[in-house]
Structure 1
Amino acid sequence: MNRIQKFFTQIKGLLVHRFFQVLLFIILGLFAYGLMFSNVKPERVQVELFKPAEQTIRSTKTVEDTYKTEQEKEEISKQVADVYSLKKEYAKNKVDLISSIFDSAIEVNKETDPDHKEDEEKEDKKEPVKTDAQKVSILKEKLTDEVNKNIEESVFLALVQADEDELKIAKDSTITAVNNVMSSRIAASDVENAKKKVVEELGYMSINGDMKKASTSLARTAIIQNVFFDKDKTEEQRRKAVESVEPIRILQGQIIVEENQLVDRDVYRQLELAGFLNTESTIYPYIGLLLFIFLTFAAFYYYFYYSISKKDNKYNQLLIFSLVFILSMATMKTVSILADLKNSNLEYIFPGAMAAMLIKILLNDKLAVAMIILLGSYGTIIFNGDTPGNLDFSMGLYIIFGGLTAIIILSRPNFKSKVLVAGLLMSLINMAFVFSLIFIMDSHYTRMEYLYYAAAAIGSGVGSAVLTMGLLPFFEAGFGILSSIKLIELANPNHPLLRRILIEAPGTYHHSVMVANLAESACEAIGSNGLLARVGSYYHDIGKTKRPHFFIENQMNEENPHDRLQPETSRDIIIAHAVDGGEMLRSHKFPKEIVDIAEQHHGTTLLKFFYHKAKKQDESTLEAAYRYPGPRAIMKEVAVIGIADSVEAAVRSMKHPTPEKIEELVSFIIQDRISDGQFDECDITMRELSIVKHSLCESLNGIFHSRIEYPEPDKLEQKVKE
């Protein structure tokens, strides 16, 4: 074990105690707090009224500018025009008045005209004929004093002198003209024009001159203002206009004053509103940051210590997660400082997906997603442009989106072995996402700035992939992790041990490849690591290379040496291949999982052939003496490989395998291992064993399918002649 592994093993030993577990989270929290402290520290600026600002100042919070809001409301209120209401009843009243005057005149004429009285009334009364003055007096008595006051004497005289027909014609014409004019809006300034209009309408009336003048005078008198200022409606309109005014705010991140800009009273007032002129210190940002960090790490503490059951795996995951977090946060802060120094958007080059890719490859998807969400959340604070209180949500989205993209890409088949290809693909997606943010914010940049953003996005994707490839070996060496990339390297046919099997034990090599195909399909069917099963199967019989000819698959038309050996000797040779295989793999520094497969794939099964052979020679032979030393399978992958190993050898020895025979054989082997207790230390379930059986049968039927029986050469020649 190298020094790195020893160091991390010692740390894992400390993490067994709850005190050191809590201490680790406290250290991580303090580390994050220290990096983000300057990004939330309240900023105090030195500005003086009517002097240029020494720096560009952005608002750290969103506040309402009440002064400007009130100014805006006053301006909007002044812009609301006065509301004038039309009094429609005025037109009806004037029409009724004109009608009453003419009706009264008609009545007077009837009462005073002898021609309108009955003959008896004429003979009895024989009243003298009324003069025009008397008729006018009678007419006035029928009207009110207010009406009489507004009508000229000449009008009364014309009314009493006209006959009934003339009065009716004049009445209709006058009422029509007055109604037409009064139906339209007449403001105070428009009254005279309205009177002229009614005169024009009556100019075409076909009656004598005096009656026309009287009608015109009455019509002019009837025309009055019918539109008046409506105070209530005006106030209502102004109130609605004022309520529609949105409060004017100084937005978080908004530039209040540019560098070297004169600080006038308006700018000074805004700085005061934003709290930059407040000399009192506040601890709320520090408390907020502390609470935020506490909540995030409390969630991770709960996950690590209540959701992960295997202790050794738990401590491994915790240490890897902590190291990747520290590395990513340090990189993030460094990029942030460089971006501030150069006053550019260098933050888009941050390789945020590196953390997601490392956690995805080394641990699992859940922790990878959790890590990238955590980094995205902290990124909104660290990349706030050193403006305390600001949160750069666009940068947080960029980090989260890039990390999730990396996780999805690496979830595709064979992409774990092509991290650089995944990084290139992620670069294109990052670039598209950056441009989507720019276009959504409707930002306007030069062509060079667009190229800069594209280069930063590409650099982020490629940088994440390169860093992932560079850091993976250190994590694998330090924690003894068997990653997918490492497995693919071990599966290379040019590996020295695989070439040794191929050269020294070709039959074993072919057998191992067949077992690998069977085990991989079965493991993937139950959700286990198919790649581990394949690679483990390649090396599970590496121990046979020490004595290859003592194993039947390597005996090419040779005499079986076991026929000349005692059962005890044959037993020792056969059993030794599992032990020898483990030692050989350890000497070549193979991962523990591969070593376990070599040692455990036979478990403690019985060498039945040699046991029964020995039993015939000596009845006192103990069964335990002819069992493999074990240990039994602990991982599901080992259990599946053990079944596939026995099944492949048994089916290959069958003369005419059929689907029915294969299924019966597989069922027998699995049931035999269950009854022998070979799965007692493994968490494989009966349902999963049923799935394994189905998968093995399908694979074996594809391999050992029935073939066409070709005729012998002489029979074939005879058939051709026929």
Structure 2
Amino acid sequence: MEIKKKWDDFVRKLESIPVNKTNLADVLIKALYFVVLTLGIVLMFSGGKTTSTAEWKVGSIATKKVVAPFNFYVLKTQEELQKEQQEKTNTVPYYFNYQDSITYQQLKRIRKLLPFLIGYEKRFKAARTPEVQDTLLFKLKDELRQNFDIRFSKANLRVLLDILAKPQHVEHLKVALKIASDYMKNGILNLNLSEITRPNVIVIRHGIEENLPEDQRMDLPSALKNIENELLKVFDVNQTVILNYLFSQLLQPNLIYDQALTEQRIEDVLANISRTKDMVYKNERIVDANERIDQNIYQKLYSLQMARIERSREKGNWPERIGFLARLMLISAILFVAGLYLASFRKDIYQDNKTLLMIGTILMLLMIIAALIIRTLDWHIFLVPTTLVSMLLAILVDSGIALWGTVIVALILGGVQGGGYDLSLLSIVAGLVGIYSVHQIRNRNQVFKAVIYIAAAYFWVYIGITALRFESLTEGLRIFAFYLLPNSVFSPLIAFMILGVFEKSFDITTDVTLLELSDLNHPLLKRLSLEAPGTFHHSMVVGNLAEAAAKAIGANPLLVRVGSYFHDIGKIEKPEYFVENQMDAENRHNQLSPNMSALILASHVKNGIEMAKRYGIPKRIRDFIPEHHGTNIMKYFYDKALKNASENEVNDADFRYPGPKPQSKETAIVMLADAVEAATRTVQNPTPNKLRAFVEKLVDERFREGELDESDLTLRDLKNIVDAFMPVLYGIFQHRIEYPDQEKKKSNEKVKPKKEKAVKDGNPHPPAAENKSDRKPA
């Protein structure tokens, strides 16, 4: 606790030091983000492919003449090296050790087994009673297990003894045992023959290596199969099964695979393979300007670059240090200019350190994936899911920041890391298409739309690049199929899989979340419809009004609709105190003081915020609960308090909502829609002109009271909002044809005493719904 207190004091001290238009703490946080992101990217890619080698590609045209500055060897290509390694590996034999102890033990068991069994067969035959036979079988079973390590059931032993009762069976069994002995003497491999894929096998006997010809190699399954075929010449199938089970316990592999020795021999062979195939001499021309680069020229250029690095390492690793410094300079320049753009043109993003942290995390995530693909796994650079950044930023922030992030990724991976022009162009075009495919996302199934669009963009651009360079169309299609197509499939899938993580971690409310919250089966909305049905209906109408207004001024219509649904959920706690839920019941506020009534009305804001937190409603939606009231005064109860006491005795702060005022266009729209929906219900004999004049007056009052000062709404926006409200209100107050029964009822109401009508119109129900404060009691 003491450490935390000191830290909080330190942070407050930093925040108290002004720096330009911000404070020192904010500057240090942004500097930390910049340093961590810059160093992280540089360290992940240090020592990788440089732009000097990236500009040379097979099929491209050399922009300058290159002459060898010194003698150097030409490295073999990866394909050539792998082919030679495979050829050399195939020449290495499998090494097996001949185990004399196993051979001696098994031959001894084979030699003694038949006389032992024949002796028991004679005793079994001489036994006069079944009891004696059973005793002999149990004894035979134990002795086989102890002396021969053979396990047989009593029933199988009885069959075995019946076989030995015939002399011809005994003779043929001797033949089979002789075959088994020969196999053990020659050696049985402990690897299956199918596992031996190279041509040579060496057996080491007493330290002497002997080649084992292919026709003499025997594994245990093959040995047992040969013995089974021999047994079937005399014995029936059931007898053969019993005898083959016996032989499976007699035979044991005695040629044991020496994996360590075999692998060591392979390593020795591979170590002797030369990594070079040719030599280029000093002053030898490698390529002329405007000459097409083929595979042979490219390999010489690549070998020259590697030779330069190797020579410099011998002089103190200067290339690596210079390369590190160069990357640091370029990446820091890219990120600095990117930050400068945000500070100049997107101040809302630049001033929000939480959003900056999220953007930096997304960029770093992509760089980690890129480093794994390019460096650790050594896969093709076209497999890097660059559109991941574009789609995540488009969904979580907006399309402008998504484009900004796409350019950063293209510059770093294409320009600095060595992906080249191809990767930069593909990243930008596919990124733009990815942004378009998700910019108005309405469900998670839209991932399939993104896959198709991005795949089409990759195909179109790369085939265009291939044609521009007069390269093989088949090769272009191969690269698309093996690298770009999987990229276009997995990038959207990864983006949508991790989208929820960023939403929860940074409390971001995307359109996908808003769609889920707009479901009227949401538990909180279900409660609202059952416990406060009048408020629920009011919220639905406010949603219609707010959505129409948001579309008219370019705000987020889905956000205002969902915000409207949840803006009054606090009324669930005490629904009977709000006029829309009172129906024809007596007004509870008649028995309360104005201060108590105001306290109850204001409490639904606090209750709503707490309830929204319990149900996991995002902050962006929770903001509608306090902001749609702003700091409005509850005029009805304030006027009532003034009547009951002198003006000096009434504090208007006791009758104001706690605020804050609307901080966005969306919450301001809901404030106006809420007030309009409630107040227009008091209009007598509404006509279009009367409704419009009433709405304009109400909006003007909110404007003059300063409730809209922090919402960025303009006067033009307010006019458009009023225009958008009117069609919805006309639909609510449309006239319907009165049926005969209704006309008769209406005529009967006209002859009722005037006093009854006065009582109805003068119902002292206060406008317990907050913004309904301007109207007289309904």
TM-score range, shorter chain: 0.5 to 0.7
Corresponding residue number in structure 1 for 2:689: 660
Structure 1 segment 418-567 matched on structure 2, within 5 A: 418-444=446-472, 450=477, 453-454=480-481, 456-567=483-594
Question: What SS does the corresponding residue of 1:606 show, helix, strand or coil?
Answer: coil
Corresponding residue number in structure 2 for 1:580: 607
Give the structure with higher Rg (CA).
1
Taking a change above 3 Å as real, the CA distance of residues 359 and 65 of structure 1, as seen in their structure-2 partners, is: closer
Distance 1:459 1:541 in 2: 47
Distance 1:648 1:536 in 2: 15
Corresponding residue number in structure 1 for 2:263: none
Q: TM-score, normalised by structure 2?
A: 0.57
Is 1:414 matched up with 2:442? yes
Q: Give the Å deviation of 1:528.
A: 2.6
Taking a change above 3 Å as real, the CA distance of residues 715 and 608 of structure 1, as seen in their structure-2 partners, is: closer
What per-residue deviation string (whole Å, max 9, x for no partner) do you get for residues 208-253 of structure 1?
xxxxxxxxxxxxxxxxxxxxxxxxxxxxxxxxxxxxxxx9437696
Corresponding residue number in structure 2 for 1:684: 713
Taking a change above 3 Å as real, the CA distance of residues 451 and 657 of structure 1, as seen in their structure-2 partners, is: farther
Distance 1:57 1:629 in 2: 69
Partner AA of 2:31 in structure 1 = V
Is 1:334 matched up with 2:372? yes
Stretch of structure 1 that moved more, 437-446 or 514-523: 437-446
Corresponding residue number in structure 1 for 2:400: 366
Question: What SS does the corresponding residue of 1:634 show, helix, strand or coil?
Answer: coil
| Sequence identity percentage | 29
The answer for unaligned runs of 5 or more in structure 1 is: 1-5, 45-55, 68-246, 260-266, 385-390, 717-722
Stretch of structure 1 that moved more, 304-313 or 673-682: 304-313
Q: Give the Å deviation of 1:552.
A: 2.0
Structure 1 segment 125-524 matched on structure 2, within 5 A: 248-249=288-289, 254-256=294-296, 279=311, 288-310=326-348, 313-337=351-375, 340=378, 346-380=380-414, 384=418, 392-412=420-440, 414=442, 418-444=446-472, 450=477, 453-454=480-481, 456-524=483-551
Q: Give the Å deviation of 1:397.
A: 1.3
What per-residue deviation string (whole Å, max 9, x for no partner) do you get for residues 89-113 of structure 1?
xxxxxxxxxxxxxxxxxxxxxxxxx
**Aligned 8 A contact 2:543 2:560 in 1:** yes
**Aligned 8 A contact 2:633 2:657 in 1:** yes
**Aligned 8 A contact 1:354 1:468 in 2:** yes
Is 1:27 matched up with 2:36? yes
Distance 1:274 1:351 in 2: 28
Q: Give the Å deviation of 1:43.
A: 9.6
**Aligned 8 A contact 1:636 1:684 in 2:** yes
Distance 1:42 1:625 in 2: 68
Taking a change above 3 Å as real, the CA distance of residues 41 and 443 of structure 1, as seen in their structure-2 partners, is: closer
Corresponding residue number in structure 1 for 2:165: none
What per-residue deviation string (whole Å, max 9, x for no partner) do you get for residues 162-191 of structure 1?
xxxxxxxxxxxxxxxxxxxxxxxxxxxxxx
Partner AA of 1:396 in structure 2 = S
Partner AA of 1:18 in structure 2 = V
Distance 1:311 1:354 in 2: 20
Q: Give the Å deviation of 1:713.
A: 7.5
Question: What SS does the corresponding residue of 1:488 show, helix, strand or coil?
Answer: helix
Stretch of structure 1 that moved more, 703-712 or 58-67: 58-67
**Aligned 8 A contact 1:514 1:648 in 2:** yes
Partner AA of 2:588 in structure 1 = P
Question: What SS does the corresponding residue of 2:296 show, helix, strand or coil?
Answer: strand
**Aligned 8 A contact 1:58 1:256 in 2:** no
Q: Give the Å deviation of 1:514.
A: 1.0
Q: Give the Å deviation of 1:287.
A: 6.0
* Among candidates 604, 613, 626, match of residue 655 of structure 2: 626
Q: Give the Å deviation of 1:64.
A: 2.1
Distance 1:595 1:273 in 2: 59
Corresponding residue number in structure 2 for 1:639: 668
Partner AA of 2:36 in structure 1 = I
Q: Give the Å deviation of 1:322.
A: 1.2
Distance 1:497 1:687 in 2: 36
Corresponding residue number in structure 2 for 1:228: none
Taking a change above 3 Å as real, the CA distance of residues 608 and 285 of structure 1, as seen in their structure-2 partners, is: closer
The answer for unaligned runs of 5 or more in structure 2 is: 1-6, 16-22, 69-286, 746-778
Q: Give the Å deviation of 1:507.
A: 1.5
**Aligned 8 A contact 1:505 1:545 in 2:** yes
Question: What SS does the corresponding residue of 1:39 show, helix, strand or coil?
Answer: coil
**Aligned 8 A contact 1:498 1:538 in 2:** yes
Taking a change above 3 Å as real, the CA distance of residues 536 and 383 of structure 1, as seen in their structure-2 partners, is: same
Corresponding residue number in structure 1 for 2:246: none
**Aligned 8 A contact 1:354 1:467 in 2:** yes
Q: Give the Å deviation of 1:336.
A: 2.1
Taking a change above 3 Å as real, the CA distance of residues 496 and 368 of structure 1, as seen in their structure-2 partners, is: same
Distance 1:552 1:570 in 2: 12
**Aligned 8 A contact 1:43 1:276 in 2:** no
**Aligned 8 A contact 1:424 1:458 in 2:** no
Distance 2:731 2:376 in 1: 60
Taking a change above 3 Å as real, the CA distance of residues 426 and 704 of structure 1, as seen in their structure-2 partners, is: farther
Corresponding residue number in structure 1 for 2:104: none
Q: Give the Å deviation of 1:698.
A: 3.5
Distance 1:310 1:544 in 2: 33
Structure 1 segment 38-77 matched on structure 2, within 5 A: 38-40=47-49, 62-64=63-65
Taking a change above 3 Å as real, the CA distance of residues 466 and 42 of structure 1, as seen in their structure-2 partners, is: closer
Taking a change above 3 Å as real, the CA distance of residues 248 and 494 of structure 1, as seen in their structure-2 partners, is: same
Distance 1:544 1:417 in 2: 36
Taking a change above 3 Å as real, the CA distance of residues 323 and 710 of structure 1, as seen in their structure-2 partners, is: same
What per-residue deviation string (whole Å, max 9, x for no partner) do you get for residues 552-586 of structure 1?
22233333333444433332322222221112112
Partner AA of 1:613 in structure 2 = K
Corresponding residue number in structure 1 for 2:169: none
Taking a change above 3 Å as real, the CA distance of residues 564 and 524 of structure 1, as seen in their structure-2 partners, is: same
Q: Give the Å deviation of 1:610.
A: 2.5
**Aligned 8 A contact 1:271 1:277 in 2:** no
Count of residue pairs the alignment pairs up: 500
Q: TM-score, normalised by structure 1?
A: 0.61
Taking a change above 3 Å as real, the CA distance of residues 607 and 58 of structure 1, as seen in their structure-2 partners, is: closer
**Aligned 8 A contact 1:659 1:701 in 2:** yes
Q: Give the Å deviation of 1:437.
A: 3.4
Distance 2:65 2:477 in 1: 34
Q: Give the Å deviation of 1:475.
A: 1.7
Corresponding residue number in structure 1 for 2:273: none
Taking a change above 3 Å as real, the CA distance of residues 35 and 253 of structure 1, as seen in their structure-2 partners, is: farther
Taking a change above 3 Å as real, the CA distance of residues 568 and 417 of structure 1, as seen in their structure-2 partners, is: farther
Question: What SS does the corresponding residue of 1:689 show, helix, strand or coil?
Answer: helix
Q: Give the Å deviation of 1:452.
A: 6.5
Distance 2:700 2:708 in 1: 11
**Aligned 8 A contact 2:30 2:353 in 1:** no
Q: Give the Å deviation of 1:328.
A: 0.8
Distance 1:57 1:657 in 2: 78
Taking a change above 3 Å as real, the CA distance of residues 338 and 251 of structure 1, as seen in their structure-2 partners, is: farther
